[in-house]
Amino acid sequence: MMHMTFYWGKKVTLLFDFWKTDSWTSYTLTLLACLIFAVFYQYMEEGRQRFKLISSLSAKKGFAGANSVPPPSQPSRINAPLLYSLPTVGGRRYAARFAGAVLFGVNSAIGYMLMLAIMSFNAGVLIAIVVGLSVGYLHFRSGGEEDVVVVDNPCACA
């Protein structure tokens, strides 16, 4: 029977029927696997965000390289990522968006698997995943301010 409250113990069924722990060795290896997957999740998230930033910067460079002002057929718009999309340059923009979507899908799948692992309600699994996410964030995503993108827009709602 599945636990509905957090519990401490070495007997855990994690994600699949065949992933059952019954000894301290298998439980420790399971916690280590949860920790590693949580760190990997943060690594993938950092890579996905960096890829998105690089692809958007390269698209802007390609757009600005052709001519410094937007084409006359397009009205002047606010330069905000969610409100303005750059034109496709030779299909590269589509390829970058597709690769970003694939990375997003993989990262979402890992995140949902971690969430389902926590829903085993084993306190050790919860702690291992939270520690893994924290270590991964510290190692991969708590860089300097060079990763921050600022959009200059006087409108508070954008």
pLDDT at 96: 77
pLDDT at 141: 85
pLDDT at 156: 53
pLDDT at 60: 61
**Left (φ > 0), alpha (ψ -120 to 50) or beta: where does 100 sit?**
alpha
Q: What's the distance, Cα to Cα, between the start and end of the chain in Å?
A: 49
d(CA 88, CA 59): 8
Of the candidates 50, 53, 38, the one whose C-alpha atom is nearest the C-alpha of residue 138 is 38
pLDDT at 2: 72
CA atoms within 13 A on the CB side of 92: 13
Model pTM? 0.70
Of the candidates 48, 60, 117, the one whose C-alpha atom is nearest the C-alpha of residue 85 is 60
For residue 75, which phi and psi values (nearest 5 degrees)?
Answer: -70, 160
pLDDT at 67: 47
pLDDT at 112: 96
Mean pLDDT by 10 residues, the chain (158 residues): 83 90 95 96 90 73 50 49 50 76 92 95 96 94 60 53
